[in-house]
Chains A and B, each alone.
Chain A
């Protein structure tokens, strides 16, 4: 029986974030929290292979109590077990501390029910760091395949997988021993429509709650602010810019507007230098 694990994160929908014009700080209230999109695709891929190979799919998340909604969404997509790792003691954890918390949880799950493949999204859309997946994988000592776009083959007898990853120039096919860890691109699987049984199941499902003490006693020097080498020295909103000069087609007419545009562009030294080459 195959055992997959996906580590997910609940994130604010960054496309909907507004900034308070008075204070320049982010207005968190009213911003919808969503399952990180890359993680959703990772869950979809794991659920697809879990069905194919008949096995178990465990999903974990570290976050505030409300993050259990993200787990329920994963149950809807076909996950069997959801674990919420939540405790005030974790607050302020940076990527290093977070990778410790997740890796220890994954290690415990792996000891009880050995894992074949661990999935992460390629990055979370709030921090965009892409550090937690690689960090957790190296702590576990699992081979790591980042930017995975396809699982070509999973051979449980011979204990290997063929995973395709996207690089800047092409695609690499990586053969890895199992267990292994990957970080997923959206292309790894399409998000399925929930099946009725999974949907009903998710309505009643209560994820398990893990804290900093139970069932794992975390080292308090390695979690939260104490366990985080990086901290925010300063934060604010991006610099405001003066609006540019604009010209309007409605006012100046099309041909005259475009003539002004080209004259202004070509009067610029940089643009003029490329125009010399292409004209």
Chain B
């Protein structure tokens, strides 16, 4: 018990230290940098939600873009066309993707390995085609814009048009989600996910309904990917059909592999490093995906456990 307490202390102190630093940043940083960080937080959320199904349950889903895009469209369409307020729209940007994830997952978790990868891609493509075609509702590839009104959240007045307000709003939500996911993977439920990853056959023989737990992981990840999409739209005040494209899921794959899958902190770190690389190399190379691709291939071959894996190895040795 004391060991576990010490370990959680090892996590909590650095976590809140980082949070504190990030909370001070807007007082020094340029507006441009603040927007960059806000987007980074959104991708961190997308990456850690992907880590739950890939890193913890070993399901490689290229369909997360579907839920990301759905969340983004939920916020945009509800606020633009139906005058919903921000809180409710954002809440529904979790609920609606959850319902879709339930449907998609219900069929997908029956398949394993490569078949699972492909069926999730197909679902995302269907979503993307519908988004591109149904332009009167979705705006197609041109997309839709909107502007959120300021609202009261408990003691705070939140104005998302203000860059700083947007920054703190996203930071707090992503931090809460991070703690939620961390708690979940350490809970008995999380242990079951890991047992499925390590040995699906054995988990089944112990008596766990493997498909049901895979579905649970898929639904939770889908809901949080939706929330990431919702926050992304609130940040950019915009949504378009290309958010639904299956290759958007590739972002989460890259961040998770680079950082280290099955660690939560790894994908967050991966998102930070890869996005900074893209951000600073965009002036030198017009194709940032080139760097992303090279980093991805190198990591897969040289350090399949990611940066966190490398760090752990070093600490063990030293």
Tell me, yes or no, whether A binds B.
Answer: no
A residues whose Cβ falls under 8 Å from a Cβ of B: none
